[in-house]
Chains A and B, each alone.
Chain A
Amino acid sequence: MRSVTAFLAATRGRGRRDWTDWLAYAHLFVGLVLMFGPVVWLVLSSFKTPAALTEFPPQLLPYGQAQASVRGYDRPLPLYRAKLPDGSVRTLAEARRIGLVATMIDPQSPQEEFKVNVRDRERLRELHFAGGNYTEIFGKFDFGRYLWNSVFITVVATLITLLFNAMAAFALAKYRFTGRDAVFLLIVSTLMIPPTIILVPNFLVISGLGLLNSLWGVIWPAVATPTGVFLLRQYMLTIPDELIDAARMDHASEWRIFWRIVLPLSAPALAVLAIFSVMWRWNDFLWPLIVLSRSENFTLQLALNAFQGELTTQWNYLLAMTVITLLPVTAVFALLQKHITTGIAAAGVK
């Protein structure tokens, strides 16, 4: 706790706060609101009922109508703050309403009835988290299916990406062969080609291979990334050659050197690439949209999109789905963020 306070109160120099400290904190605060505000709003809104969502002016927190169960009535009655003719203000439940006049009762003593003009009362609201948004989507749509598709594509594509890119990077970093630098330059230079340009050729290839409408059609084009090869190669250059020589003297095959020596030592860079790959695949929209046209193959992102396209949008479910979509990436990032910083620093990129 003390370290948190110390962290939050850190200053540029020792002792007093400089004006630059204020400036820095102001800047950070604006950044925090800008970055984190929409996410907070999204998460809070995902717990709102449809009524609360359409309310104007909008509320930050998910408020709902406060209710109380009263003896003699089957259903819970809505609660109001009502101003009585004698001028006192009391919390009353509405028994029934005719026109502009409502008959209200005290939940504690239901015998007594008050006639209150609807203009003299105010809704009593309380925090109400509509967890139903989350539980209902699993039954309402094929949400589990979309989630599984997304998870399958992300996990499998990431594993294959790591393996393929690490093998390419190992060869480019640790073997001497003619044309090595040319091959490396070629790979890195593909970074300059915008993905939209290769969309059509990619589609033709995937269609020719009969992979349309298959999850593998999303996975295969994504596994070879120049960024990954570059990142891993730069990192593997820092592994001393003597280690590999030592392994060779230790009778290890090249595959074994890769598997037992190089891969474990590249773990920080692999973690970075894993995070990138998870984020790319999870958030990927355009390519799956092109390849996957049958709804049972939809990823979460596609499902979100399709869901919004219907005549009426059920915002409460859409927001809940969006939050669930955000969770895996957030979790991966939170767990591996230490690796990201050290890995990116070590790989010497960005």
Chain B
Amino acid sequence: MASLRLEHVVKRFADATVIHDVDLDVADGEFVVFVGPSGCGKSTLLRMISGLESVTEGRVCIDGKRVNDVSAAQRGLAMVFQSYALYPHMSVRQNLAFGLENLRTPAVEIDARIQAAAKMLHLDTLLHRRPAELSGGQRQRVAIGRAIVREPTIFLFDEPLSNLDAELRVAMRAEIMALHERLGTTMIYVTHDQVEAMTMADRIVVLRAGRVEQIGTPLDLYNRPRNRFVAGFIGSPQMNFLSVRVASVQAGAARIAIDNLSGAMSPPIAVGSNVPADAPVAAGIRPEHVRLDRRDAESIEVTVTIDRLEQLGALSFLYCTLANGEPLTVQATGQVTHQAGETISVQLPTASMHLFETSEAARSLTLADRAVAG
């Protein structure tokens, strides 16, 4: 059981900086997920926490103590690797025992811990087997078991489920969450799968190109993305972005007009301060917030052509194009009677709309005290 703190952590390889000035506080017992596209530095950050990778600048603290110069072995953490990294020449039992033997744990104690872990992970009948004789899910459980028996202060998971098939991944996800509940140990989990991040995390750290884009609870990120990257990364299918222009700003409310589209100005949208009038911005709206029903005063109505239709029974996805050529994905609950090629009107509720700068940073303009979107 331990807390973790990263202060201005930087990692450089030769002349390439892969981690830029990361600050993070992880409370004792928290489940934190690092998420981001591949190459964003999330695995490097995890390896820096583990001690397998050195820290170029900044401090890594475990329980308030600086551990920059403490070796991986001495930090008391355990890591589950993407490839499982089971010792292929050892049986499951030997794999589990290896770490404890290195710590000179008494044999009786080793046995007891292996029994407990094997029971917890349903490995009891597999202890004599070699990793090559196990299925993917079983190997994953052995890898987790190897971490458990060490009774680490923090668990580190490096994309542990990415080699499993979809069904097994969902099952293992539940197992890891149940494990967290039972052990109450701090866990740090790296994934590129935002669904995994949303379902498992107490808090999510979104990373891009070695920088932290946003830290928050899953719903926080969903409802109040701080910039366009986070908005696009969290949520599936991805948020729609339309190029729009701020027509007028009045008392913290902006009216916008969609580029190259005839139509009235939008109803007012609550924005934070300093939104320049007549500035080009990006309007983001999630597919599940676009409505197919009648127009109301709080929405922008647009006419779209349906290009493609996916009916999943409980859900329907409509891939449409606006008159100005921009794509718009619509998620409707239940089934729809529309056909591909049809032209329909859809409503974009302003309450669920996010506005982003068009600059490089693409900061959100609608962040200030935004209510939970409906």
Contact = CB atoms under 8 A, between A and B. Distances in A.
A247 interface: yes
B150 A250 contact: yes
B140 to A, nearest CB: 14
A349 to B, nearest CB: 23
A245 B85 contact: yes
Q: On chain A, which size bracket covers the interface?
A: 10 to 19
A265 B89 contact: yes
Contacts of A246: 79, 81, 85-87, 146
A240 B83 contact: yes
Given A240-B83, A245-B52, A245-B81, A252 B98 contact: yes
Nearest to A264: B89
Contact of B102 (A242, A251, A265): A251
A249 B52 contact: yes
A232 B143 CA distance: 28
A248 B85 contact: no
By secondary structure, the A interface counts as helix
Contact of A251 (B50, B83, B99): B99
Contacts of A261: 87
Interface in B82-98: 82-83, 85-89, 98
Contacts of B77: 249
Contacts of A242: 81-83, 85
A236 to B, nearest CB: 14
A143 to B, nearest CB: 41
A261 B87 CA distance: 7
Nearest to A250: B99
A243 interface: yes
Given A242-B85, A261-B87, A265-B89, A249 B103 contact: no
A50 to B, nearest CB: 54
Contacts of B144: none
A249 B72 contact: yes
Nearest to B88: A265
Interface string B48-78: 0010100000000000000000011100011
Contacts of B99: 249-252
6 contacts: A245-B47, A245-B85, A250-B146, A252-B99, A253-B73, A256-B102
Given A246-B79, A246-B81, A264-B89, 8 more contacts: A243-B85, A243-B87, A245-B79, A250-B73, A251-B103, A252-B102, A253-B73, A260-B98
Interface of B: 47, 50, 52, 71-73, 77-79, 81-83, 85-89, 98-99, 102-103, 146, 150
